[in-house]
């Protein structure tokens, strides 16, 4: 490949790019210098090559067999964050969701505070319609900028997608580069206070100081996955070096040397136990990718 300004790594270990700290190797990993460099890279990538975008590697389980193809790391590269007008913000896909929340608050805007509780990037939040505290990412999206496998950019709007709880339809071989968000005029101190309260609640109720991916399962309609898992007596259940958190039943933690296989087995065990007891099929919120 020619005239790349980013870093291309062959046979790259992915565990260091995963919040669970697990995962095999990728054939290639690319850390672009910026958006233009990323597009230049994609244009040179063979069309048949598998391509996956990763931000902070949260909400993703990378299997031990790794990924056949190329992984692009957006965090640290797609990092532009700016105001468009009084109530509109622009953020590239690699911007951390909590950083976006704080930036919006300091601009005296409200509506994005919930993103402080999302342990990932804007790209990931868009891909899964991430949310908490009753708010969801796509509720504040004005438009998104995508790129396809030919390196062509396109602006898309929310009405082009099917958007649901923790779910967004996809256009084949399109990836999020950035988005514009429409917020409301607010008060900086109130917004920052709300963010501080949310972060304190997270720290008090979730194992934020241990390797995890955030919530493992979506909440079923009218109930909470954590309540169902706890009612099955599964808190603390361990497979290999992975455990269900004692602090929050919908979190799985890596106790130090867990494999992705340990974690996936625990995910399957939870789903099996909850279905057996409550006849409710829990749907994973976490994206599971790679080779077994």
Positions annotated as catalytic residues are 166, 215, 285
3-state secondary structure the chain: CCCCCCEEEEEEECHHHCCCCCCCEEEEEEECCCHHHHHHHHHHCCCCCCEEEECCCCCEEECCCCEEEEEEECCCCCCCEEECCCCEEEEECCCEHHHHHHHHHHCCEECCHHHHHCCCEHHHHHHHCCEECCEEHHHCEEEEEEEECCCCEEEECHHHCCEECCEECCCCCEEEEEEEEECEECCHHHHHHHHHHHHHHHHHHCCCCCCCCCCCECCCCCCCHHHHHHHCCCCCCEECCEEECCCCCCCEEECCCCCHHHHHHHHHHHHHHHHHHHCCCCCECCEEECCC
Do 176 and 93 form a contact (C-beta atoms < 8 A)?
A: yes
Cα–Cα nearest to 242, from 226, 266, 208: 266
- Supply the Cα-derived Rg of the chain in whole angstroms: 19
């Amino acid at each position: 490949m020619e005239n790349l300004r980013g870093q291309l790594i062959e046979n790259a270990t992915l565990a260091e790019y995963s919040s669970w700290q697990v995962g095999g190797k990728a054939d290639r990993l690319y850390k672009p210098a910026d958006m233009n460099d990323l597009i230049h890279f994609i244009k040179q990538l063979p069309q048949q090559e598998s391509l996956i975008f990763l931000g902070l590697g949260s909400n993703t389980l990378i299997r031990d067999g790794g990924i056949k193809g190329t992984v692009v790391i957006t965090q640290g590269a797609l990092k532009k964050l700016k105001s468009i007008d009084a109530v509109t913000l622009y953020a590239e896909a690699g911007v951390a969701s909590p950083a976006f929340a704080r930036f919006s608050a300091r601009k005296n805007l409200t509506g994005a505070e919930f993103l402080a509780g999302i342990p990932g990037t804007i790209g990931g939040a868009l891909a899964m319609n991430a949310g908490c505290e009753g708010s969801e990412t796509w509720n504040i999206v004005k438009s998104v900028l995508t790129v396809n496998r030919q390196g062509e950019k396109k602006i898309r709007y929310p009405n082009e997608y099917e958007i649901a709880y923790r779910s967004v339809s996809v256009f084949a071989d399109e990836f999020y580069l950035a988005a514009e968000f429409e917020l409301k005029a607010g008060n900086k101190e109130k917004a920052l206070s709300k963010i501080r309260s949310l972060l304190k609640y997270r720290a008090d109720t979730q194992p934020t100081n241990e390797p995890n991916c955030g919530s493992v399962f979506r909440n079923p309609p009218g109930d909470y996955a954590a309540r169902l898992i706890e009612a099955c007596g599964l808190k603390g259940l361990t497979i290999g070096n992975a455990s269900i958190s004692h602090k929050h039943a919908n979190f799985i933690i890596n106790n130090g040397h867990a494999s992705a296989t340990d974690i996936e087995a625990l995910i399957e065990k939870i789903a099996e136990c909850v279905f057996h007891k409550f006849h409710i099929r829990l749907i994973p919120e976490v994206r599971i990718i790679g080779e077994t």
